[in-house]
Amino acid sequence: MSDTQALDHIATWRAAGHKAALATVIQTWGSSPRPAGSHMAINAKGEFVGSVSGGCIEGAVIEAAREVMATGQPKTLEFGVTNEMAWDVGLACGGKVRVFVEAVE
């Protein structure tokens, strides 16, 4: 799954009249699994393609994407060991990432 394929999925979902959101890794610190620019596409049904980590935070990103699709307001999420949510959805690798989530409309 290349990152541009995530964009293609969004275009397909939009063309079919579905809501869609794009999540993108914008900054990383330490040993995070996916570099800046990595994309994950999410639709209103919670289907997703691509990844923004090794699978550690995708669930939380999908949740945020639902909210972003509902409000149309973009959101920047931060995950890492210093985050208060670390014990729930932090990165086991000890890295830190910022993920930008936007609706495509």
Partner 1 sequence: MKSSLLTELQSRIAAKHSCALVTETITGAQAIVGGGGTAGALVLSPESLGHINRLIAADKSSVIDGTNLFVRVYSPSPRMVIVGAVHIAQSLVPLAQLAGFETIVIDPRGAFLSANELAGATAIEEWPDEGMTKVKADARTAVVTLTHDPKLDDPALAAALRSPAFYIGALGSRKTHEKRLLRLRGEGFNETELARIHGPVGLDINAVSPAEIAVSIVAQVIDELRADTK
Burial (CB count <10 Å: 0-12, 13-18, 19+), residue 63: middle
Q: Which is nearer to partner 1, 5 or 82 (CB)?
A: 5
Q: Which is nearer to partner 1, 7 or 93 (CB)?
A: 7
Q: Which is nearer to partner 1, 76 or 92 (CB)?
A: 76
CA gyration radius, the chain? 13
Query: Which of 30, 35, 46, 94 is the binder for partner 1 (CB under 8 A)?
Result: 35
The token duo for 37 is 């620019």
Q: Which of 30, 28, 36, 101 is nearest to 69 (CA)?
A: 101
% helix, strand, coil for the chain, step of 5: 30, 30, 40
Interacting residues with partner 1 between 41 and 100 (CB under 8 A) = 73-74, 76, 100
Question: Rule CB under 8 A: is residue 105 a binding residue for partner 1?
Answer: yes
CB of 87 to partner 1, least distance (A): 26
Binding site for partner 1 (CB under 8 A): 2, 4, 7-8, 10-11, 14, 22, 24, 26-27, 35-37, 73-74, 76, 100, 102-105
